[in-house]
Amino acid sequence: MTLYFEKETKEELALDFETIAKDVIGAALTFYRCPYEVCVSVYLVDGETIQRANRETRGIDKITDVLSFPNVPFEKEADFAILEEEGSHYAYFDPDTEELILGEIMICQKQMTEQAEQYGHSILREYAFLLTHSMLHLLGYDHMEESQRLRMEEAQRLILEQLSITRE
């Protein structure tokens, strides 16, 4: 797996963000038995940056905690069969590394720390949760309907349990 990681914030926190991202992303991929080497980009940004991205991509002019930018239009959650279709190799795989380009994750550091405090758990748990949530979006999950939300919440819980990162 290739992880492109950028921390674009000035506030320092005592977390190894990049290693945690690799662990969480790896756990999500293992959970779904992803048959490919993948590439994911993670950006830790400030409120202004994520608000601008939210406005430009979703038409919502406010800060959010996490945005996901999937590259693969999964028809079913974590169903890799779509990648076996004719021409998919050119659309979804890096021609140099042959890795599946899964997508990008943007996390607002300020929102993450505020939510950790609000929900009464560690920043590590909140960061891992946001990464897991976003990875599920990159794998085709959504939570617009109640049944989707419940499946997504259960998958999040199971992946975080594999990492021994649970609600405190």
Boundaries of every domain in the chain: 2-162
Burial class (CB in 10 A: 0-12, 13-18, 19+), 150: exposed
Q: Which pLDDT does position 10 carry in this prediction? A: 87
Statement: 2-162 belongs to CATH 3.40.390.30 = yes
89-113: pLDDT as tens digits: 788 999 999 999 999 999 999 999 9
Mean pLDDT over 127-141 rounds to 97
pLDDT reading at 87 higher than 90 = no
Q: Which pLDDT does position 74 carry in this prediction? A: 93
Average pLDDT over all residues of the chain? 94
32-56: pLDDT as tens digits: 999 999 999 999 999 999 999 999 9
Task: Record the pTM.
Answer: 0.94
Q: How far is the first Cα of the chain from the last one, in angstroms, to the nearest whole number?
A: 30
Alpha carbons 67 and 64: distance in angstroms, whole number: 7
Q: Which pLDDT does position 147 carry in this prediction? A: 84
For residue 168, name the pLDDT band (cuts at 50, 70, 90): low
Q: Which pLDDT does position 93 carry in this prediction? A: 94
Alpha carbons 121 and 168: distance in angstroms, whole number: 6
Amino acid 11 reads E
Q: Residues of the chain with pLDDT > 90: what percent? A: 83
Q: Which pLDDT does position 166 carry in this prediction? A: 78
Q: Provide the token pair at 69.
A: 């930018």
Q: Which pLDDT does position 146 carry in this prediction? A: 87
Alpha carbons 116 and 122: distance in angstroms, whole number: 6
